[in-house]
């Protein structure tokens, strides 16, 4: 069943893998180079990972480097989208929200730009990563970040109906089921997975989300050492609705490409109509449809 058309007529997406540092301009240059390469290769949509803007050394530096959505950095990415003529999934922007002055905390915000550089939608990460994994070091995202208040309905893109999530969200299947029931054909999990959880869980979780929702899953990832205190697993990939990894980045910064075949997705859903077979009378709605 792992048959997916590779016709040049199908929309092409690019998944960008980077190693962000605390240097925002260096990070922008690295991301912009990959986006321009994606455009040159014919992609209609390029995905950047969580923390594409920067990865700081501590919460204080994270807050200091953060910006509002209307700041200079997003303006540069809007210009990049216009210049390249493609859509950009900016997978986790450190956003100073409207309540910044009161809270002194930020949002982890997934921003989707269209090819004119306009913000189509934003999703603020709802599940914050407060974990302590032996051998990986503690992660307390809530020290500097507030959880988002809601999920966002999937939006129409040149590649298909796109549902937005971020990294740790992939551990909560209710979210992916809600997006799928709301019409998502592509789920995206921009991430910065650690060196211990990465080898154990990264691919397994992404393939599981694809199989259970019968969606394409696109996962742009951070890779390598960001600074002396943090490193990321990498292995950016695209998974098709059958659970097959159809594109994967090699080690280090770079990009991979995949065709999105929605006719294949619809055929698979017709052959294996799991959403028609659910029994909410027995176990409730595991992921309520979005309003």
Residue 131, φ and ψ in degrees, nearest 5 = -140, 160
- C-alpha to C-alpha distances, 222 to 70, 100, 198, 231, nearest whole angstrom: 24, 26, 11, 8
Q: Residues with catalytic annotation? A: 50, 125, 167
The candidate with the shortest Cα–Cα distance to 13, out of 52, 39, 51, is 39
Residue 219, φ and ψ in degrees, nearest 5 = -135, 100
3-state helix, strand, coil split of the chain in percent (to 5) is: 30, 30, 40
The candidate with the shortest Cα–Cα distance to 185, out of 263, 86, 92, is 263
Residues 55, 73: contact at Cβ < 8 Å?
A: no
Signed CA dihedral, 14, 18, 22, 28: sign only: negative
Rounded to the nearest 10 degrees, how much is the dihedral formed by the CA atoms of 162, 35, 146, 284?
A: 20
């Amino acid at each position: 069943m792992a048959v997916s058309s590779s016709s040049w007529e199908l929309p092409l997406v690019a998944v960008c893998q980077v190693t962000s540092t605390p240097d925002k301009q260096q990070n922008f240059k690295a991301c912009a180079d990959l986006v321009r390469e994606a455009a040159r290769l014919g992609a209609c949509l390029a995905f950047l990972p969580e923390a594409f803007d920067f990865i700081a050394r501590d919460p204080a530096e994270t807050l200091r480097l953060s910006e509002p959505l209307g700041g200079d950095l997003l303006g540069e990415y809007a210009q990049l989208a216009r210049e390249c003529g493609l859509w950009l999934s900016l997978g986790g922007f450190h956003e100073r929200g409207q309540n910044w002055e009161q809270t002194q905390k930020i949002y982890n915000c997934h921003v989707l730009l269209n090819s004119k550089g306009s913000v189509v939608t934003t999703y603020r990460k709802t599940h914050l990563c407060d974990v302590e994994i032996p051998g990986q070091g503690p992660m307390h995202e809530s020290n500097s970040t507030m959880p988002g208040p809601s999920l966002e309905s999937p939006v129409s893109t040149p590649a298909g109906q796109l549902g937005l999530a971020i990294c740790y969200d992939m551990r909560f299947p209710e979210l992916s089921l809600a997006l799928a029931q709301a019409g998502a054909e592509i789920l995206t999990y921009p991430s910065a997975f650690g060196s211990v959880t990465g080898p154990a869980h990264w691919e397994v979780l992404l393939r599981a989300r694809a199989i259970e929702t019968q969606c394409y899953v696109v996962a742009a990832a951070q890779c390598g050492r960001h600074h002396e205190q943090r490193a990321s697993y990498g292995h950016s990939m695209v998974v098709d609705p059958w659970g097959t990894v159809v594109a994967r980045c090699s080690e280090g910064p770079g990009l991979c490409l995949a065709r999105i075949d929605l006719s294949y997705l619809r055929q698979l859903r017709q052959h294996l109509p799991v959403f028609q077979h659910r029994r909410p009378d027995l176990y409730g709605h595991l992921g309520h449809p979005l309003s």
